[in-house]
Structure 1
């Protein structure tokens, strides 16, 4: 079965014949639980993580077989914006251009719900355009479970994620309303992502204790994902 978001992807993403060692699609949750400040922290945090020295070094480790990178924002099923179309990361200039695009982005007028399964289907469609890459990775960030659209477990079972590794970044609350329940909240969300979302060999869940921690968590996540590819290629 092809979900509507996946069909939309096939129009937006163009195929390529260029060789790459990893296709990495990053999906950012901008549903109603993400306020204006958190939206900015998320996009600016990803931009900052991409420009940190260790991430730059990992991305540019082998320019002859580069990492291909795409970024999308999602909320309700069918509401997805391809913020960064596929780009082959062959130089620092490419990284800086992507970071600038993220910092310049303004929030689209999307609905409030969390269509996590539909976002996964959209990411699978993007990655279908990079079938020749050594590894394909879908990197989903979110601060809550799916509450509308297809269930993540059904998207996983439907076959569109075959050959794709799905990792997750669970984002906890920035400021608890009573006491400090953030560790409990992030543990519950991480368990949900682990049970319902991640997929494939070496798949994992990274955690951010609030959007203020997003850049550091994304750096850890990118380094882990890119390291898996480098080690796999060396074996």
Structure 2
């Protein structure tokens, strides 16, 4: 009789419905160039523009609807990368506001060093072990210059694409000649990867907003 009871209890445990866990559609790492070519005003335009874009109702709704995991990384020369805001799940609009607030208040990590895009990609990709349940792995790279230190960014990005990453770019034009073309050929990778262009730092807030909408609302193949 005891054996029969144990069997029935065990069968009930198997048949009882379990709580549904919301799926994470996208793990999105936002990486920001803070190398020596960027002055304090330009740094603020990046951080304030990013925070404003995240708070936009359409962006915030998309983040929550897809249970997006977000992380913010600052990067400069080859040995200099820092997680400014660790992975956070966007399960509610309060989560989005909290992330935007942390991004807006994040102190600048460096101000006088080189530009190591390949190293930034390596560092950022290594953080994705914490969000392995997310269906898509996306790294956003924004910057205003060519890589001049560390590994070749094209070699790194192509290797990451083979591992299922999508690397998108936001090229801030200015001192460097044809930076958008450089990003297209050396930074972005993955089947649906793309580059958006900010003609100046003043264009950055609108450009990052458009870029986030494209990543979150247009399905990623």
TM over 0.5: yes
Q: 1:150 to 1:45 in 2, by over 3 A?
A: same
* Among candidates 174, 184, 201, match of residue 211 of structure 1: 201
Give the match's secondary structure for 2:131. Answer: coil
Counterpart CA distance in 1 for 2:104 and 2:217 is: 26
Which 4+ runs in 1 deviate beyond 6 A?
none
Change (3 A) 1:158 1:202: closer
Per-residue displacement from partner, 1:2-30 (whole Å, max 9, x unpaired)? xxxxxxxxxxxxxxx98411000010000
Native 8 Å contact 1:115 1:149 kept in 2: yes
Q: 1:170 to 1:191 in 2, by over 3 A?
A: same
SS in 2 for 1:225: helix
State whether structure 2 residue 121 is matched by structure 1 residue 131. no
Check the 8 A contact 2:68/2:90 in 1, yes or no. yes
Q: Specify the alignment match of 1:226 in structure 2.
A: 216
Partner residue, 1:3: none
CA displacement at 1:96 relative to structure 2:
1.0
Between stretches 100-109 and 215-224, larger displacement belongs to 100-109
TM-score by length of 2: 0.84
Q: Give the structure 2 partner of residue 144 of structure 1.
A: 145
Decide whether aligned partners of structure 1 residues 99 and 161 sit closer, same or farther in structure 2, where only a CA change above 3 A counts.
farther
Cα deviation, residue 227, structure 1: 2.1
CA 1:217–1:145: 2 relative to 1, 3 Å: same
Aligned residues between the structures:
201
Query: What are the ranges of 5 or more consecutive residues in structure 2 without an aligned counterpart?
Result: 1-20
Q: Which runs of 5+ in 1 are unaligned?
A: 1-16, 177-183
**Alignment map for 1:161-176 (pairs within 5 Å):** 162-173=163-174
Q: What is aligned with 2:191?
A: 201
Give 1:117's aligned residue: 118
- Name the residue aligned to 1:7: none
| TM-score, normalised via structure 1 length | 0.79
